[in-house]
Amino acid sequence: MTRETVRAVAEDLAAQGVVGVTVVWVDNNGISRSRTVPVSRLESVAERGIGITPLFAVFDSLDGITFGHDGLGTPSGDIRLVPECDRLVRLYGQPGFAWVPGRQVAADGSPWPYDQRGVLERQVERGERLGLSFLAGYEMEFQLLRPEPGSEQLRPTHEGPSYGPLRMLAVDEFAEQLLRDLGGNGIEVNQFHGEYGPGQYELSIVAADPVTAADHQVLARQTIHAAARAHGLRASFAPLVELGQVGNGWHLHTSVSRAGQNVLSGGSGPGELGPEGAAYLAGLLRDLRAVVAVTAPSLSSLHRRRPGYWSGAYDFWGVENREAALRLVPGSTLVGAGNANIELKPSDASANPHLAIAAVLAAGLGGIEDGLTPPEPVAQDPGTWTEHQRSERGIAALPSTMAEQLDALMSNKRIRTALGEELADAFRAVREADVAWAAERTDAEVLAAHRWLY
Ligand code: GLU
Ligand code: MG
């Protein structure tokens, strides 16, 4: 955007009563961070950015700063947070504010290796060089809680039948405002429904190009929190809110096209996968463990992922198999071939969405470049099989400890390279800092500490 256009945008916002612009990025814990500037400063900030510490790359989930990554070992230095003004949105539900995603650049304006946005842009460009384009879309599950009258105690908004209209009625005014605000903020919604767990709801967003999909997920978080606050509710996006409950998955759907044709459909492979679509899927499966270390990275994620919960506990794929880590949703005659997509179940709010989508695309593109072929799909739940039956089919549980998960990430050159070596190592360091923090705490305390982070 030219300087003149930014000035015109700022003047227009001011005329509409907007006073502040909040520049947002998501850190390596999946936590949104921000700086708000008066609208009169937008023009200058668009040009020069806002000074922030380089250490945000090594903030852990509990706001501790780890020096466990060599590249960011001192408190000295400054980087700049630059708003992506062409993505600025006036917040429909917070009329005094506008929202804009930020890019982190080095103090001299050059690329900053820890900028998560840039990581995703690189994978999109890599696809473009191969003649491929992508769509991505998130489903966001969350729990809505309401204070008990006269107490600080929070209770799920509804305990009744899953998926029912009574569950929506319990949050009627919130639901109405949310749909209105999302529309006003430019986010297209597929559907919104009461989910399975107590007080659990799910919002799915219409698929878009990968960077927009990541940005919209971040904006949708803000929109949900604002609407919840306006109606005296609190929204928890934590992968697991309470021990023993169902988790909150933020399933990530992607599809790949060449020359406008979705390569996940129209072929003769299982589920009608075309050859490139099959290779994309096989690439995802090959790198699944490292991908999941990025898409469901936290201690809370490890608690969420259990067999039998549709959260993707085992490394296999299936056609419409909801227990599979990778579920192929074929494009039927009814919904159209273009709608075929692959859903990644081990994906949640503790992931940085830009990094998460980048890791998925990197794995899939690797599969296409190497011409991989996937194994046969599985229609059952391997969690009900014996260990022997699983190993005969080459199926294993995804990591259940952080050490295993980090080992999967750091030993995978393809995914590490996609993140960039510096960022990958900073990511490892913050995960290890989370583990050190949790060492003396109970599982319940760990989950409680993650409950309101996202
Ligand atoms: N709540 C489940 C999860 O943790 C997903 C349920 C569903 O497939 O909608 O991912
Ligand atoms: Mg769901």
**How far does Cα 114 stand from its chain's mean position?**
17
Which of 121, 112, 116 shows the shortest CA–CA distance to 80?
112
Q: Which pLDDT belongs to residue 269?
A: 87
Determine if residue 246 is left, alpha or beta; phi over 0 gives left, psi from -120 to 50 gives alpha, anything else beta: beta
Region 390-398: mean pLDDT is 96
Q: What is each CA distance from 267 to 272, 274, 392, in whole angstroms?
A: 5, 4, 28
Residue whose CA lies nearest to ligand 1 atom number 10: 249
Per CATH, 3-115 and 122-450 having the same topology is answered no
How buried is residue 48: exposed, middle or buried, by Cβ count under 10 Å (0-12/13-18/19+)? exposed
Whole-angstrom CA distances from 139 to 39, 154, 190, 205, 329 are: 32, 25, 9, 6, 14
> Which residue out of 309, 314, 343, 447 has the highest number of ligand 1 atoms within 8 Å of its CB and is therefore the one to mutate?
309
CATH homologous superfamily of 122-450 equals: Glutamine synthetase/guanido kinase, catalytic domain (3.30.590.10)
250 C-beta closer than 6 A to ligand 1: no
- Contacts of residue 311, defined as CB under 8 A and 6 or more positions apart, other chains included, come to 247, 249, 304, 305, 345, 346
pLDDT at residue 333 above 90?
no
Q: Which atom of ligand 1 is nearest to the CA of 247?
A: 4
CATH (residue range 3-115): 3.10.20.70
For ligand 1, say whether the CB of 349 is within 6 Å of any of its atoms: no
CB 413 near ligand 1, within 6 Å: no
- pLDDT for residue 185: 98
What confidence tier does 332 reach under pLDDT thresholds 50, 70, 90? confident
Q: Which atom of ligand 1 is nearest to the CA of 305?
A: 4
How many angstroms separate the CA atoms of 365 and 96, rounded?
A: 42
Which ligand approaches the C-alpha of residue 239 most closely? Answer: 1
User: Which residue has the CA at smallest separation from atom 6 of ligand 1?
Assistant: 310
Tell me the average pLDDT of the chain. 97
Annotated domain spans of the chain: 3-115, 122-450
Antiparallel, parallel or unpaired: β 20-26 and 97-106: parallel
Segment 101-109 shows an average pLDDT of: 97
The pLDDT score that the predictor gives to residue 152 is 83
The answer to whether the CB of 29 falls within 8 A of the CB of 238 is no
Report whether residue 139 contacts ligand 1, using a CB cutoff of 6 Å: no
> Which of 190, 251, 252, 347 is the best mutation target for the ligand 1 pocket, counting ligand atoms within 8 Å of the beta carbon and taking the most?
251
pLDDT digits (tens, 9 = 90+) for 16-58: 999 999 999 999 999 999 999 999 999 999 999 999 999 999 9
